[in-house]
């Protein structure tokens, strides 16, 4: 499991088994990228607290009140803390953590769309999100 820089959570009582990435063949893919914290977020009055975790397969994102307490040193779900913190899991075709490079995002998400456009097909990459969430950073 990886926290937004590298771990993720599952609300069940057991750690999920290691599985390979599931690729879905579709004309539409929903992809999420966690942007790195801004300098002003890191140097604010209150300390920065990461609330995002990404699973090892990079398909599930977890938002939790206290991501650090949900996992042990190895990144496995901490059974003692599983019900203590509010957590929500969301599944997508791909989830990039804040350590993902522009090259990785392009190669695994945009390249197929660009190749299709160059072959004459209609293609769109649509970036959506609240102001300051990283659309321009990603594009």
Q: Is residue 116 part of a domain?
A: no
- State the pLDDT at residue 5: 41
pLDDT tens readout for residues 21-50: 666 666 788 999 998 888 888 998 888 888
Q: Is residue 84 part of a domain?
A: yes
- What is the number of domains present in the chain? 1
Q: Is residue 21 part of a domain?
A: yes
- Strand, helix or coil for residue 90: strand
Of residues 2 and 77, the one with the higher pLDDT is 77
Q: Is residue 108 part of a domain?
A: no
pLDDT tens readout for residues 71-130: 666 666 655 555 667 888 899 999 999 999 999 999 999 999 999 999 999 999 998 888
Q: On the CB side of 36, how many CA atoms lie within 13 Å of its CA?
A: 8
| Beta strand ranges found along 16-93 (DSSP E) | 31-33, 52-54, 60-64, 87-91
Domain hosting residue 43, numbered range: 2-100
- In this prediction, residue 135 has a pLDDT band, given cuts at 50, 70 and 90, of confident
Residue 95's DSSP bridge partners are 32
CB 92 within 8 A of CB 61: yes
For all residues of the chain together, what is the average pLDDT? 78
Pairing of the two strands 94-96 and 31-33: parallel
Pairing of the two strands 52-54 and 2-3: antiparallel
pLDDT tens readout for residues 4-15: 443 333 444 444
d(CA 106, CA 61): 20
Taking residue 19's Cβ as centre, other Cβ atoms within 10 Å add up to: 10
Any idea which residue has 């490079």 for tokens? 101
d(CA 11, CA 87): 7
């Amino acid at each position: 499991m990886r926290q937004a820089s590298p771990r993720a959570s599952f609300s069940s009582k057991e750690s999920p088994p290691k599985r390979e990435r599931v690729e879905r063949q579709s004309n539409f893919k929903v992809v999420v990228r966690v942007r790195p914290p801004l300098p002003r977020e890191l140097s604010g009055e209150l300390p920065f607290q990461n609330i995002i975790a990404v699973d090892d397969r990079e398909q599930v994102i977890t938002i939790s009140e206290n991501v650090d307490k949900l996992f042990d040193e190895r990144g496995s779900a901490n059974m003692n803390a599983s019900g203590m913190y509010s957590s929500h899991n969301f599944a997508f075709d791909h989830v990039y953590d804040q350590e993902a490079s522009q090259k990785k995002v392009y190669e695994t998400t945009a390249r197929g769309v660009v190749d299709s456009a160059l072959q004459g097909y209609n293609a769109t990459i649509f970036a959506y999100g609240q102001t300051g969430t990283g659309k321009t950073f990603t594009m």
